[in-house]
């Protein structure tokens, strides 16, 4: 606190006693939280890192929330950060959203920010989350949220060490049709569940490219910083295709067709199996380009099978559970869960309500995150959920790359008796973009 000089204090006191101080202090009702407004002390000050197409969907969900104030966007590409600024400024009717190109400057300067929405490409997800949490920010990170098993472990350890709220963008864990299927499996309504199917993406392959695109002249750094765009990845020649989303399918930047949708569906399947605290221990190689049909087994013998196409669902990012007394599943576009018998669907509203009552979670993934920023509770797709499901993604990829069955120890987080597989649990990171 600032010290008040004795002479100044006496002078002000005498003036007040003489009635010389007559102007009242007028406090806007919005500052007190009146008239439906949220008081500043209750608002979540939010910033963004790398918000592109998917990230803008997240931002559209967050901006209308009365207790959110979005104040700054960081992106190495000027055109992208200006799009976000316009979205934000149009929403608030002002020009206050600040622009940053360097994540280090953004995190160092914006000590007022409580939480960050990160929707970069895969290569930046883990490092951006770790740096943000070290800077005292809670983080909503789009998926796939790690490039390797080691990165996932580092995210989890950082969240625990710094006491930060972390949510990965596996939003189907907060959608009623998926939640109902998960609850049917988890609570025994399907009988003893022995198999879950997890959808993998219908494009690209498990094996990725190790070459790179031909060099093009780099744009001015104020327009697009190639060094910042690459971040922790190995240095590669600039090519504008990468910055327009053409990085998928390259080992430097991607987690393959398995990671593209498996980052969602493995968590969905593992939730219904009650296996979000671990990962499968056996991975059986399949001789195709995608991993379609790969059988993974948990320590208790329960199977999670990777599936491509529409064999078990219509729509994308589906999961299906098969038990002794029937099956149930969901995918994008489902109005409600589908099941082997109409009787299994009779309690839809009741079961979803019971889930919400038990967990106290909103049926909105972004709202669940924001609620947890305030309550300090674990969100549905917390760092542990992310790390365990992504460990399975990475192990399945490694199985496909090495073209042999693998055994994985989810406690030690290493492959049993396979030095070559263990080398693939991590990747080198390019300084200064390191954990």
Compute φ and ψ for 10, nearest 5 degrees.
Answer: -65, -40
CATH of 38-171, one of 3.40.50.720, 3.40.50.1100, 3.40.50.300, 3.60.10.10: 3.40.50.720
- What does the alpha-carbon distance between residue 70 and residue 84 come to, in Å, rounded to a whole number? 10
Compute φ and ψ for 35, nearest 5 degrees.
Answer: 65, 30
The b/e string for 103-113 (b: 16+ C-beta within 10 A; e otherwise) is beebbeebeeb
Residues 6+ away with beta carbon under 8 Å from 6: none
Q: What is the pLDDT of residue 39?
A: 84
Question: Which token pair is 192?
Answer: 């003893």
How many CB atoms within 10 Å of residue 422?
A: 16
* Consecutive H or E run containing 401: helix 383-402
Compute φ and ψ for 167, nearest 5 degrees.
Answer: -135, 130
Ordered by start, the domain boundaries in the chain are 38-171, 172-206+254-423
**pLDDT < 70 regions, the chain:** 1-37
Q: What is the pLDDT of residue 40?
A: 83
Summarised one tens digit per residue, pLDDT across range 259-287 is 999 999 999 999 999 999 999 999 999 99
Cite the beta strand spans of 273-392 per DSSP E.
Answer: 282-283, 295-297, 303-307, 319-323, 326-330, 338-339
Question: Which fold does the domain 172-206+254-423 belong to in CATH?
Answer: Dihydrodipicolinate Reductase; domain 2 (3.30.360)
């Amino acid at each position: 606190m600032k010290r008040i000089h004795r002479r100044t204090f006496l002078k002000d006191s005498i003036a007040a006693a003489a009635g010389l101080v007559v102007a009242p202090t007028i406090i806007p009702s919005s500052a007190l939280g009146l008239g439906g407004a949220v008081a500043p002390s209750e608002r979540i000050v939010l910033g963004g890192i790398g918000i592109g197409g998917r990230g803008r969907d997240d931002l559209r969900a967050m901006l209308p929330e009365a207790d959110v104030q979005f104040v700054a966007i960081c992106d190495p590409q000027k055109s992208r950060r200006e799009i976000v600024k316009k979205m934000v400024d149009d929403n608030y009717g002002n020009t206050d959203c600040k622009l940053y190109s360097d994540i280090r400057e953004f995190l160092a300067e914006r000590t007022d920010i409580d939480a960050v929405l990160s929707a970069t490409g895969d290569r930046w997800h883990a490092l951006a989350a770790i740096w943000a949490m070290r800077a005292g920010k809670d983080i909503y990170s789009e998926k796939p949220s790690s490039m390797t098993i080691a990165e996932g472990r580092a995210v989890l350890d950082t969240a625990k060490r710094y006491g930060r709220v972390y949510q990965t963008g596996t939003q189907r864990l907060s959608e009623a049709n998926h939640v109902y299927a998960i609850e049917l499996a988890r609570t025994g309504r399907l009988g003893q569940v022995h198999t879950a199917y997890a959808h993998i993406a219908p494009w690209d392959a498990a094996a990725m490219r190790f070459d790179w695109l031909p060099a093009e002249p780099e744009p001015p750094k104020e327009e697009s910083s190639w060094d910042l765009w690459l971040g922790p990845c190995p240095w590669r020649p600039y090519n504008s295709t990468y910055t327009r989303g053409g990085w998928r399918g390259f080992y430097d930047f991607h987690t393959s067709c398995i990671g593209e949708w498996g980052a969602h569906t493995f968590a969905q399947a593992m939730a219904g199996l009650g296996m979000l605290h671990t990962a499968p221990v056996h991975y059986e190689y399949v001789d195709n380009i995608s991993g379609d049909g790969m059988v993974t087994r948990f320590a208790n013998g329960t199977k999670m099978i990777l599936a491509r196409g529409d064999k078990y669902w219509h729509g994308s990012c589906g999961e299906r559970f098969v038990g002794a007394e029937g099956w149930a599943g969901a995918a994008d576009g489902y109005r409600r869960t589908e099941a082997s018998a109409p009787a299994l669907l009779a309690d839809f509203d009741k079961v979803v309500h019971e889930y919400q009552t038990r967990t106290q979670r909103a049926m909105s993934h972004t709202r669940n995150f924001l609620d947890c920023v305030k309550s300090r509770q674990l969100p549905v797709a917390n760092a542990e959920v992310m790390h365990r499901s992504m460990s399975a993604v990475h192990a399945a990829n490694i199985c496909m790359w090495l073209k042999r069955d693998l055994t994985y120890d989810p406690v030690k987080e290493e492959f049993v008796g396979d030095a070559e597989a263990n080398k693939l649990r991590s990747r080198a990171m390019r300084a200064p973009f390191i954990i």
